[in-house]
Amino acid sequence: MLRPALRVVLFWLLLFLPAGRLDWAEGWGFFAVNVAVVSLTAAWGWRRDPDLMRERNRRFAPNVKAWDKVILYTFSLLLCALFVVAGLDARFGWSSVPPALKACGWLGLALTFVLGCWAMAVNTFLSCAVRIQSERGHAVVTRGPYCFVRHPLYAGVIVSAGAVPLLLGSWAALAPGGLIAVLFVLRTALEDRTLRRELPGYEDYARRVRFRLLPPLW
Q: pLDDT tens-digit profile of 110-142?
A: 999 999 999 999 999 999 999 999 999 999 999
**Tens digits of residue pLDDT in 12-65:** 999 999 999 999 999 999 999 999 998 898 889 989 999 999 998 887 788 999
Cα→Cα distances 5→34, 77, 190, Å: 13, 19, 32
- pLDDT in the model for residue 24: 95
- Whole-structure pTM over 0.85, yes or no? yes
- Inter-residue contact 14 to 84 (CB < 8 Å): yes
- Inter-residue contact 116 to 153 (CB < 8 Å): yes
Tell me the C-alpha distance between 58 and 201, whole Å: 26
- pLDDT in the model for residue 38: 86
- Inter-residue contact 125 to 133 (CB < 8 Å): yes
Decide if pLDDT at 143 tops 80: yes
* Residue 108's pLDDT band (cuts 50, 70, 90): very high
Residue range 58-76: average pLDDT? Answer: 91
Fold topology of 2-208: Four Helix Bundle (Hemerythrin (Met), subunit A) (1.20.120)
Domain ranges, ordered by start, for the chain: 2-208
Which helix (H) or strand (E) is 149 found in, with range? none
**Tens digits of residue pLDDT in 184-216:** 999 999 999 999 999 999 999 999 999 999 887
Tell me the C-alpha distance between 128 and 105, whole Å: 24
